[in-house]
Structure 1
């Protein structure tokens, strides 16, 4: 076979099967060691904030507008698994005051090296048609599949991390973004903080617009937005924590990765919405309608996001809430949640980890 045929055969019969094995192994390790991974990230973040504050106290650093966790593909190939963690002023990459530490992501990328070494052995079966550089190029393309586990840990950790006194003490720009991705390349927001509270009327208008333009990665915390009517809107990764959303309806919306901690959503509706990786911890959801909602995890050719974080209802009030006909709710946590009169399909009776009191309180639906 010629070079292209060999590459295609190698991709289908070696690269993809091994990638799937590595993703399954990593996913199992992710869930097993999640608490420790979160703790390690938080410690890294705490050190960075202390470093920022020292620089600011010495007059060496302006208010922070960006904190960025970056990976470099070429370094990973060289078995360096440290993310570069940098803090920038509003000048971003033009900020000349270097503020840099590192975050150890070897818990993920040792699997990258394991896969690379296995593929290098498989390459030798192709009798000199394929070269080491061909395998390295394939693995470089696989880097985002490994990075998705790091970004998921950041998402799980960041809400508590920004409550650290070291973070609260640093001087921040009017808008601060915590981001992750490839160094000076594609990255995404993990957290957005505004020093000035957005105008609730303007936010309401944007949320209720009927056009198909997404409204994503926004900080919508601590806003009074009761009785919203939002239909078929892409609102992924928005932060509604501590907002007043009583009686609001989010119908057939894309809400994956959205944050709702301590929000008041009594009598609200999420009917038919995509809720993968949404976080409702400590929220007030009495009488909320989740009928037909989906928590479907994405599983295709190495992709595991959304779905790694799961949907979280820990310590939420779900009394009289309705989960009839929900699907894809396999990865959901309810630790400490109040569930008196909550309607739940019987198929989740054994699947969900529930307390004896929760099991007795729930109304199981056929």
Structure 2
């Protein structure tokens, strides 16, 4: 077989079936441990929102436009799958705001690691016809099915988070959104977990909270404010 045929055979017969198996296992884990996962997320959001509220009181941050839970790609590459909470107003939304509020998503990415190990065993059988680096580059763009479980967790937690005093006390922009973000790859996928139109409190804003899928079609790493996106929204 030619190199391209070998590559396609490897992906279709070895890689994708292995990924499907790991996603099934991840789904089972998430369903069984969802309450424990949320119990870890909510206190982190509570502490973070309190910090943001103090920043607003001190004039360091204006009305909050976005709360981001962003996957730190450098940490992921180092074997530490961490999402960082950050807040921004309209003036700072294009800048990364480094914070100490980190969430360990090891429960998600250990399934991605297991997928990688299974694929490596399969790859070696091709006797140097498929290079490890080529597979790593391809794999880095295929993590969305794992990342989506962070989205599921935050979306599920929002009913509790939005009732927190710290969250309700935030001064929110009329376009306020909570997003789970996967930056740092050639094609990033960002998901808007919740948005609120106007200044109506979220518990009273019927249909105000939405989930959106935002797919960045740029082939470069761009500031958030410049990322082109196609958006579809589903009421939750």
Could you tell me how far apart the structure 1 residues matched to 2:6 and 2:105 are? 33
Could you tell me how far apart the structure 2 residues matched to 1:118 and 1:195 are? 49
Residue 165 in structure 1 maps to residue 165 in structure 2: yes
Q: Residue 225 of structure 2 aligns with which residue?
A: none
Higher relative contact order (CA 8 A, sep 6+): 2
Shift of 1:101: 2.4
Task: Say which is worse superposed, 94-103 or 61-70, in terms of deviation.
Answer: 94-103
Q: Residue 193 of structure 2 aligns with which residue?
A: 190
Structure of greater Rg:
1
- 1:65, 1:176 within 8 Å by CA — same for their partners in 2? yes
Residue 122 in structure 1 maps to residue 122 in structure 2: yes
Task: Summarize the Cα distance change of 1:25–1:100 in structure 2 as closer, same or farther, 3 Å threshold.
Answer: same
- 2:87, 2:97 within 8 Å by CA — same for their partners in 1? no
Shift of 1:171: 2.0
- 2:69, 2:180 within 8 Å by CA — same for their partners in 1? yes
Q: TM-score of the superposition, structure 1-length normalised?
A: 0.52
Could you tell me how far apart the structure 2 residues matched to 1:63 and 1:100 are? 21
Q: Residue 291 of structure 1 aligns with which residue?
A: none
Residue 221 in structure 1 maps to residue 198 in structure 2: no
Q: Residue 312 of structure 1 aligns with which residue?
A: none
Q: Residue 219 of structure 2 aligns with which residue?
A: none
Aligned Cα root-mean-square deviation (Å): 2.7
Could you tell me how far apart the structure 2 residues matched to 1:190 and 1:126 are? 42
Gaps of 5+ in 1: 198-218, 224-235, 239-255, 260-366
Q: Residue 56 of structure 2 aligns with which residue?
A: 56
Report the 3-state secondary structure (helix = DSSP H, G, I; strand = E; otherwise coil) of the residue aligned with 1:174: strand
Shift of 1:196: 3.3
Q: TM-score of the superposition, structure 2-length normalised?
A: 0.78
- After superposition, residues 125-164 of structure 1 pair within 5 angstroms as 125-164=125-164
Could you tell me how far apart the structure 2 residues matched to 1:70 and 1:12 are? 30
Could you tell me how far apart the structure 1 residues matched to 2:192 and 2:62 are? 21
- 2:86, 2:99 within 8 Å by CA — same for their partners in 1? yes
Shift of 1:33: 0.2
Q: Residue 355 of structure 1 aligns with which residue?
A: none
Q: Residue 235 of structure 2 aligns with which residue?
A: 258
Structure holding more strand per residue = 2
Q: Residue 102 of structure 2 aligns with which residue?
A: 102
Cα deviation 1:43-72 (Å, max 9, x = unaligned):
221121122123223332222110111224
Gaps of 5+ in 2: 213-232
Shift of 1:92: 4.2
Shift of 1:153: 1.0
Cα deviation 1:179-219 (Å, max 9, x = unaligned):
1122274412211123435xxxxxxxxxxxxxxxxxxxxx9
Q: Residue 85 of structure 1 aligns with which residue?
A: 85
Count of residue correspondences: 210
